[in-house]
Amino acid sequence: MAGFTPSGRYMMVGGHKGHLAIVDMKQISLIKEFQEVEYSGGGIPLY
């Protein structure tokens, strides 16, 4: 799963086992990374 903000600057990526990361695509740097404990059943809209 992957999604971008409307401006395209930030990308959120997620794995099947709950690993989530937010990346600044302009600077190519990791903003936040964490492991989700509970299954949410879907992605997070970025708008």
Conformational region of residue 8, where left means phi above 0, alpha means psi within -120 to 50, and beta covers everything else:
left
Asked if the model's pLDDT at residue 2 lies above 90, the reply is no
Of the two residues 45 and 29, the one the predictor is more confident about is 29
Rounded (5°) CA angle 47-40-24: 40
Structure tokens at 29: 């740097």
Torsion angle of alpha carbons 26, 32, 34, 40, nearest 10°?
A: -70
Q: Record the pTM.
A: 0.67
What residues have CB less than 8 Å from 16, skipping those under 6 apart?
none
pLDDT, residue 16, reads 77
pLDDT tens readout for residues 35-44: 877 655 566 5
Q: Where are the domains of the chain?
A: 2-35
